[in-house]
Structure 1
């Protein structure tokens, strides 16, 4: 059943439509039933011929569209995962690193993972203090670090490996926007934004992916933004980093 923690949203509406009118598991049985002449005759017995014909056409179109969308989902999922399906994850032994996890999106990602399994190890990297309290008996580790400094990244990633273990999931969520125009922003504004939003994810991937590849087990989540596609005013540097993050995400790390 479709639901949303944010209330009524466009995502909720489209998901509801996909799970009902455009679900092949719902539409195809209806089409199959309508293809049987006795059932079709009885169903449209009291309906005008033109209306029944229109209903049939709409039903067939919905069926075709539902199949096309499902096929598209299958192909996208296969391409994104290199046509490999991972076995079930053991969330008791997974180590998830979340940058920018002291609040906002990162906090909610951490909370959802803990709600799924309280024993999942969560590592929070953020320059800001934690704004939420981890549940009792959870395995949440917090490291305060400035991700705009590459030396800090090298140091903190080694500490994580030594003190927690090799991460199996990396969520590159940390990001900032200074809100200046290209002409008004200072050099440091641009540099800090690019280092935090793009260079840091690149270096964190560089640090953690080799072990994931060697174990043939791992997952990387990069949080981008619509500004990567439609850059609004006063966030040119932020939009550029998010577009770069999309490009980084599309790379096959083993071959590029």
Structure 2
């Protein structure tokens, strides 16, 4: 007998930690999880950003709890997770969203800059996942969602560190699945395409060569929106995806499926 129902998509009673979610993609994802019923916890690197996030969530009618935490600091992350468990409850859903990018040609990039990107974009998801997994095992269920990238699959000029980190994050996702799937923990990734954010606004001006390039490469013929990421995240955070594990869901309008449009003669 098929006992599936739409309640499988509900996140009621779940505690979700979304890292770096004061604004942008992380904020949109956390807001979507809240609308599906989850209690939202987020962190950021300083008090100013955390306060900015709390005010934004309040304006949207979301009662989110924010903490200052550097996700590259293992001791600080362990303390944060312990505090969340004491003040809110065991984390059911982790979204490793915090990340940085340094657009520097490889031969001009210092090893220190390369390491910084790897630290935030790859080491931090390892550190935070490691901190939440033991309680997920005890509880008997958990969801980890890593925000990967199309650069988990593709290379491009000036993003050697970012692509290396996101390629590693893809494999960390698969390894968490392999290592902890038997504990009923599902670890999947989301790979956003080119998304409309305040940071990309200068690139999206009509007539900008980069804007034209992205539109021509995307079968959907548009940039994605942060709302386009919400449904996939809610699915991967919910019981509807309990047999989906180690998968990277690319939300890219079809870029990775296409070689691009043929130039007009």
Tell me what 2:31 maps to: 111
Question: Hey, what's the Cα distance between the residues in 1 that align with 2:62 and 2:24?
Answer: 19
Residue 102 (structure 1) aligned with residue 22 (structure 2): yes
Q: Report if the CA contact (8 A) 2:71-2:127 is conserved.
A: no
Q: In structure 1, which of residues 124, 138, 141 is the aligned counterpart of residue 42 of structure 2?
A: 124
Tell me what 1:151 maps to: 75
Q: In structure 1, which of residues 114, 119, 133 is the aligned counterpart of residue 56 of structure 2?
A: 133
The alignment partner of 2:114 has SS state of helix
> How many corresponding residue pairs?
169
Question: Hey, what's the Cα distance between the residues in 2 that align with 1:156 and 1:241?
Answer: 24
TM-score for the superposition, normalised by structure 2: 0.58
Query: What are the equivalent positions in structure 2 for 1:102-251 lying under 5 Å apart?
Result: 102-117=22-37, 120-127=38-45, 129=49, 130-131=52-53, 133-135=56-58, 138-251=62-175
Question: Hey, what's the Cα distance between the residues in 2 that align with 1:127 and 1:141?
Answer: 14
Question: Hey, what's the Cα distance between the residues in 2 that align with 1:181 and 1:149?
Answer: 28
Provide, for residues 112-146 of structure 1, a one-character-per-residue CA deviation record: whole Å limited to 9, x for no partner. Answer: 122233xx211112225034522476431111222
Deviation at 1:194, TM superposition (A): 0.8
Provide, for residues 143-189 of structure 1, a one-character-per-residue CA deviation record: whole Å limited to 9, x for no partner. Answer: 12222333322222222222222100000111111112232223331
Q: Report if the CA contact (8 A) 2:15-2:39 is conserved.
A: yes
Residue 92 (structure 1) aligned with residue 12 (structure 2): yes
Please, which runs of 5 or more residues in structure 1 have no aligned partner?
1-86
Question: Hey, what's the Cα distance between the residues in 2 that align with 1:107 and 1:139?
Answer: 13
- 1:216–1:90 CA distance, 2 compared to 1 (3 A): farther
The alignment partner of 2:94 has SS state of strand
Question: Hey, what's the Cα distance between the residues in 1 that align with 2:89 and 2:66?
Answer: 14
Greater Cα radius of gyration, structure 1 or 2: 1
Question: Hey, what's the Cα distance between the residues in 2 that align with 1:149 and 1:177?
Answer: 19
Q: Report if the CA contact (8 A) 1:98-1:125 is conserved.
A: yes
Deviation at 1:91, TM superposition (A): 2.9
- Greater RCO, CA 8 A, separation 6+: 2
- Higher strand proportion, which one? 2
Question: Hey, what's the Cα distance between the residues in 2 that align with 1:255 and 1:167?
Answer: 17
Deviation at 1:89, TM superposition (A): 6.7
Ranges of 4+ aligned residues in structure 1 off by more than 4 Å: none
Please, which runs of 5 or more residues in structure 2 have no aligned partner?
1-6, 183-265
